[in-house]
Amino acid sequence: MQPDLLSQLQDIQTPQQVGHWPLAWGWWVVIILSLLLLVFICISVYRFIQQRKAKKQALKLLNQVSPKQNPLVAVQTINSILKRVVLAYCERDLVANLNGEKWTTWLNTHGHKNAQINSEFVQLAYQANCSSEQASEYLKQSKNWINKSLPLSKQALKSISQGEQNV
């Protein structure tokens, strides 16, 4: 008789499963690069939101202005809001002392070429009275200037700072 060969077999021993840890160095590089990218995106979004906060607030205030009730007060308010929003993006000593024709020139020079403000409307803030149509048009031009010109481009900010050095 032949010995029973099947009874002599041992159970199969499976190897231990390969674990996920420790990770290979390539995965660590991918994880670190992904985290750096995530941090960069978060910082960029935060800066984007902060840059546009003053613009958003100014537009909100301009929407509350009613040129029909008291046009002179509306024009003065529009002028004040324009000045405040520009001060949020520029240095104070470059903008705060501007008024009248100089203020209009500054706005039209540093603003978008399709967003110009008529100097007649800025002058209304310094006059005794004005019509509601003029105040409405000034409001419209101011909203357009803020929408198209703010935040100021890097080129505009560079020209502003160079203008300060030349003075």
CA–CA separation, 98 and 16 (whole Å): 78
Task: State which H helix or E strand residue 102 sits in.
Answer: helix 100-110
pLDDT at 2: 67
**Residue 36 falls inside a structural domain:** no
**Residue 116 falls inside a structural domain:** yes
**Model pTM score:** 0.73
Q: Which domain holds residue 126?
A: 56-159
**Residue 25 falls inside a structural domain:** no
**Residue 71 falls inside a structural domain:** yes
Average pLDDT over residues 154-158: 71
Q: At what angle do helices 71-89 and 100-110 cross, to 10 degrees?
A: 50
Look up residue 1 and give its two tokens.
Answer: 């008789």
pLDDT tier, 127 (very low <50, low <70, confident <90, very high otherwise) = confident
Cis peptide before 3 (omega within 30 of 0): no
**Residue 28 falls inside a structural domain:** no
**Residue 14 falls inside a structural domain:** no
pLDDT at 31: 96
Answer yes or no: is pLDDT of 54 > 60: yes
pLDDT at 164: 55
**Residue 31 falls inside a structural domain:** no
Nearest to residue 115, comparing CAs of 156, 163, 74, 159?
A: 156
- Please give the angle made by the CA atoms of 143, 148 and 151, to the nearest 5 degrees: 100
Answer yes or no: is pLDDT of 40 > 70: yes
**Residue 49 falls inside a structural domain:** no
CA–CA separation, 88 and 29 (whole Å): 41
Question: Domain total for the chain?
Answer: 1
